[in-house]
Structure 1
Amino acid sequence: MRSLFFIFFVCFLFLCPLWAQKALPLRLDEADLKPLRSLEHTLLQRNLEKELMANARWKYLMNQKKMAVGIVDLRNPQQAKFASINGAHMMYAASLPKIAILLSSMDAIEKGELQETDEIKRDMRLMISKSNNQASTRMIDRLGYDKIASVMTDPQYKFYDKSRGGGLWVGKRYGGGGDTNREPLKNLSHAATVNQVCRYYYMLVNGKLVNNQRSKQMLDIMGEPELHHKFVNTLDQIAPTAKLFRKSGSWKNFHSDSVLVWGKNPSRRYILVALVDDPNGDEIIRSLVRPIEKVLKNTVNTVALN
């Protein structure tokens, strides 16, 4: 009886943090919240490379630096794990960097530089949920390129860091016309790296974008996506009850997607980001979800066996 009680007690101590973290943003102790780079996990990295490189087409694209993938395992928030392929390689990311406009807008609202009107709240939702270009351009015009760049390069975030390959950048209106402010490394107008987008979601899920209240507001805006393609197309099939927070992008051969998956069961909680330069990029991204979930499952099973 004592041994059964001991086993129950140990399980309770292990699972209690998971049960307690149902609501987002998470509220981890500062000691448990570490920089994402420090959470790189050798086994997760090895499993990610093995699984994705087994596909000949994907292997070719990754070797040519035309495909980048990153994952953050959030099943135990206190022990998050991170892995990526071509994570620091910056690519044109179409509409995905609209998340940079969203953060810059929240920063401006919080600082009193932008009034939080009903019209602005509608535009932020349209910009993210439907990727509406007109709403995105209105938000860019309200903020200005200098404001967006200052938030992306802010030492608090460093979502664009020249010393680490660049990152998130918006330097052109979505729709033509007007001045531009292209990023300095590759002269891209709408850019991203997998690593920086993973960091964005990791900080967001932990309530560290602007503050906890604004992070919650951003999660609400990014939740319940209204475009059901790419990652969401597959997740609708295999995880219909999971909460999804998402932003994607496509232009010509350039396809991107990013999602925070928050299942009712802690076994399905992760961040997934992909950038692909290929005519079949939409299909490739849609096909990534199942292999990624296999990677996560294999990693936890191997850890348990050891």
Structure 2
Amino acid sequence: MRAEPIFASLNANPYPPKAPSLQQRLDRRLTEMGFGSAIIDNKLGIALVDISNPRKPEFAGVNHYQMQYAASLPKIAILFGLMKQVEAGDIRYNDVLRSLASDMIQYSSNTAATELYLKIGPDYLAKLLMSPHYQFYNRRFGGGLWVGKEYSKEPAWQREPMKNLSHAASPLQVARFYYMLAQDKLFKKEWVQEEMKDLMRGSELDHKFIHGLKKCCPDAIAYRKSGSWSTFHSDSALIENGEKKYIAVALTNDPVGYKWLEDLIVEFDQLV
């Protein structure tokens, strides 16, 4: 499997081509659900990637290039940075680190996230996210994943330069992250890849996408991370449901955005 069909080099093709049928069905369903104003006002951003057929992945999205504050969702970037250093032999992986990583992803522990963020180094992580190979944050194309602050009351190390956000994400770049995870393109060593997925599998927090999936398809497997702060609610996942396999990312800015996410994932599952 190759990542090029929908996520080619950002230098050549910053935004993946949309699959007409999937895009039309997504647009129609969002209109029926009453999200027209939220989309126009940039209160809702979505990226949906159907990879059920790995030879023919399909992408659809709305406001998918719009970066916003994403609270705990960018903790996936900290996990990525940790596992890259483990793969390189710069950090020795052990039960203590695994427990911290699990707490950060499964329970969204801010304490664990801060400890791991400082361990791998803010500067290292920023350079990794902006590196030519990954480009999970690219100023030319709307920004993307960014962690410029501890998950604590300490001041920011470095806010991202476009919107001055401390913890940021865009639907497109988060979708690219999960796509590379699904394609085994994040790491060279298979065991590191599998460990990353194992840490992200399921969730101890029953809300948003997870709560919606339990209602529509309780047997679905989700590799997932969400985030919430104030009116900013987001969720992201690589989902396997029978013969279906897809990536869903949604970022909202609304007091009841968490409920939007719960409802949206049910629709996403029906669309693919």
TM-score range, shorter-chain basis? over 0.9
Say whether residues 1:34 and 2:5 are aligned partners.
yes
Report the counterpart of residue 226 of structure 1 in structure 2: 204
User: Is 1:293 equivalent to 2:269 in the alignment?
Assistant: yes
TM-score normalised per structure 1: 0.83
Task: Kindly indicate whether the alpha-carbon contact (under 8 Å) linking 2:5 and 2:57 is maintained by their aligned counterparts in 1.
Answer: no
Do the aligned partners of 2:65 and 2:142 also contact (CA within 8 Å) in 1? yes
- Higher mean Cα deviation, 143-152 or 35-44? 35-44
Contact 1:159–1:168, Cα closer than 8 Å, also in 2 = yes
Equivalent-residue separation in structure 2 for 1:291 and 1:103 (angstroms): 29
Whether the 8 Å contact between 1:92 and 1:254 is mirrored in structure 2 is yes
Give 4+ residue runs of structure 1 displaced > 6 Å after superposition. none
Whether the aligned pair in 1 keeps the contact of 2:6 and 2:58 (CA below 8 Å) is no
- 1:130 maps to 107
Counterparts of 1:38 and 1:167, CA distance in 2: 15
Match of 1:277 among 242, 248, 253: 253
User: Do structure 1's residue 49 and structure 2's residue 43 form an aligned pair?
Assistant: no
From 90, 96, 110, give the equivalent of 1:113.
90
C-alpha distance in structure 1 between counterparts of 2:183 and 2:88, whole Å: 21
Following superposition, the deviation at residue 39 of structure 1 comes to: 5.3
Distance change in 2, residues 1:38/1:85 (3 Å) = closer
Matched, 1:160 2:160: no
Cα distance in 2, alignment partners of residues 274 and 78 from structure 1? 25
**Structure 2: any 5+ residue segments left out of the alignment?**
8-14
Aligned-residue offset at 1:213: 2.9
Q: Tell me the equivalent position of 1:261.
A: 239
Alignment match, 2:126: 149
Alpha-carbon distance, 1:154 to partner = 1.1
Shift of 1:179: 4.4
- The alpha carbon displacement at 1:82 in A equals 0.7
- The 5 A counterparts of 1:44-123 are 44-56=22-34, 58-123=35-100
Counterparts of 2:57 and 2:147 in 1: how far apart (Å)?
29
| 1:38/1:62 CA distance change after superposition, 3 Å | closer
- Aligned residue number for residue 165 of structure 2: 188
Partner Cα distance (1:148, 1:213) in 2: 21
Q: Structure 2 length as normaliser, TM-score?
A: 0.93
Deviation for aligned residue 1:178: 4.6
Could you tell me which residue of structure 2 aligns to residue 251 of structure 1? 229
Give 1:175 deviation, angstroms. Answer: 1.6
Deviation (angstroms), 1:115: 2.0
Shift of 1:170: 0.3
- Let me know the Cα RMSD of the aligned residues: 1.4
Distance 1:247 1:290 in 2: 17
Hey, what does 1:302 align to over in structure 2? none
Q: Compare CA radii of gyration and give the structure with the larger one.
A: 1
Instruction: Tell me the amino acid that sits aligned with residue 60 of structure 1.
Output: S
Q: Deviations over 1:38-93 (max 9, x none)?
A: 4531221121111102233x211110001101101011111110111000000000
Percent of residue pairs bearing the same amino acid type: 38
Structure-2 separation of matches of 1:101 and 1:273: 18
User: How many residue pairs were aligned?
Assistant: 264
The answer as to whether partners of 2:174 and 2:249 remain within 8 angstroms in 1 is yes
Partners of 1:179 and 1:39 in 2: how far apart?
Answer: 36
